[in-house]
């Protein structure tokens, strides 16, 4: 046996650890691009439909295409973590209410039916235990505010894909300079 081809136990363990580490990094990278962070796949579809109601596509991309769902999903595992239960409850409420009112999912309703449902929600006119205490109004306002933050905020936070809103408003991309230091 050639001594140069001999693999020591120490070298074998080093290679195994590096390989396992590399695989775990690869798995995390692919997960980031294929799965949602907080939302399930069906919740993300519902969020896209809601986002296109709040910011409808016209000559410019709407809420879905501009990344509203991605922004909210990303923020719900970070700064908006306190809203996780609110989103779960609100999305479930929308699903259940649409089954009762329309015998269909929100995403399957036509644009005008979706609009009417959200008008009821905004006005606090949805009934049932799911919406007790004007939760329908509260969730609508929260979702609307987060959608606007996603659409008009910096793309570095996960929304405003390709700086859509800045282009629409004919604004330059705002430069982030960092800390401003003043000389005396």
pLDDT at residue 177, rounded to an integer: 55
pLDDT at residue 13, rounded to an integer: 74
DSSP annotation of 128: S
Please give the average pLDDT of every successive group of 10 residues along the chain, which has 184 residues.
Answer: 65 74 56 72 95 89 86 91 96 95 96 96 91 93 91 70 69 60 50
Q: Which of 162, 136, 140 is nearest to 67 (CA)?
A: 162
Sign of CA dihedral 48, 54, 59, 60: negative
pLDDT at residue 31, rounded to an integer: 46
pLDDT at residue 175, rounded to an integer: 57
In the structure encoding, which two tokens stand for residue 103, read together?
């015998």
Collect all residues with Cβ–Cβ distance below 8 Å to 104 and sequence separation of at least 6: 98
């Amino acid at each position: 046996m050639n001594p140069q081809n001999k693999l020591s136990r120490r070298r074998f363990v080093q290679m195994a650890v590096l390989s396992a580490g590399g695989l775990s990094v690869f798995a995390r990278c692919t997960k980031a691009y294929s799965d949602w962070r907080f939302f399930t796949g069906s919740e993300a579809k519902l969020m896209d439909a809601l986002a296109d109601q709040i910011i409808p596509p016209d000559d410019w991309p709407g809420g879905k295409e501009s990344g509203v769902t991605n922004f909210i999903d990303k923020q719900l595992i970070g700064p908006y973590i306190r809203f996780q239960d609110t989103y779960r409850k609100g999305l479930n409420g929308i699903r259940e209410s649409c089954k009762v009112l329309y015998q269909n999912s929100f995403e399957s309703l036509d644009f005008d039916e979706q609009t009417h449902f959200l008008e009821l929600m905004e006005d606090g006119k949805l009934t049932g235990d799911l919406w007790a205490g004007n939760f329908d109004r509260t969730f609508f306002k929260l979702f609307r505010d987060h959608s606007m933050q996603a659409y008009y905020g910096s793309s570095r936070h996960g929304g405003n894909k390709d700086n859509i809103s800045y282009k629409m408003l004919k604004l330059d991309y705002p430069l982030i300079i960092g800390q401003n230091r003043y000389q005396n």
